Amino acid sequence: MTSYSSTIETISETLAGIPLAYEEEKAFVSEQSRRGITWQEAGVLVLITRGEKGLSFILNKRSQEVSQPGDLCWPGGHPMPLADRFMANWVIPHLLPMRKGQGFAAAKNRRPKTFEVISFYLANALRECWEEMRVGPRKVDFLGALPCYRLVGRRKIVYPMVGCLTQTVKFKTSYEIERNVCLPLEDLWDTQRYGTYSLILTGKYRELAGTDTWDLPCYAVARRDGPDDILWGATYIILMNLLDKVFGFRPPANGPVRAAADLYPLRS
């Protein structure tokens, strides 16, 4: 059985060699802006910890007080330019322990503009992790960055940063989060937990999509005290991208799970 520390090292080493088109994405956003089209950008933290079953991912289940209620997501959100730039330029490279880690060193070896974008969205993701879960940036080691993901229908680009907790943390969630979800890496190899999530569209969502239903790939996250949580959308795709690039794992094309729900009916 591979140890937790060696798996963390494998993740960091793999991410160091992954091509990142961050400069091209920033150029795309600038060009779209010149044409009067606004694209939002956001950093998220793919957060790893040592759980009961070994390496595990920490997700947030969004509360009813925010948009996309009930969805599983990574800690993250839109940047605060002044605060995040200060953290990227001064706090991370001069004060945080992660500055001495393998992931940060590998990021510095990339093109200067790429490193600048990584630093900014890493700062963005770390700040959001503190605001949502009270996880301080000194307790996170940066492992590397994943290729960004475009949510075309929402004109949004997500920059995923991968990090692991360096010590035990007691999460204190904000009003945005209903609860935390611990997803063991071991469970993700179970192909019987993959399938299709059928989202019934109403109101403005149906008008935008031009269809009644979206059928999307998903993963059913097992719960001890209730029905499974359904992982889908950008969060699912980012996680599957990590599993593919690091472990060569791809989910089954048509797994047995079948789930259905209305897509945010109260906010349509």
How far is 234 from 217, CA to CA, in rounded Å?
A: 11
Across the chain, what does the average pLDDT equal? 95
Which residues, at least 6 apart from 91, have a Cβ–Cβ distance to it below 8 Å? 123, 137
Dump pLDDT digits (tens) for 154-180: 899 999 999 999 999 999 999 999 999
How far is 152 from 174, CA to CA, in rounded Å?
A: 29
Look at 21-35, 50-64, 206-220, 244-258 and tell me which has the smallest mean pLDDT. 206-220
* Homologous superfamily, domain 4-267: Nucleoside Triphosphate Pyrophosphohydrolase (3.90.79.10)
Mean pLDDT of 222-250: 96
Dump pLDDT digits (tens) for 33-81: 999 999 999 999 999 999 999 999 999 999 999 888 899 999 999 999 9
Query: Per the confidence metrics, is the pTM higher than 0.85?
Result: yes
Which residues, at least 6 apart from 247, have a Cβ–Cβ distance to it below 8 Å? none
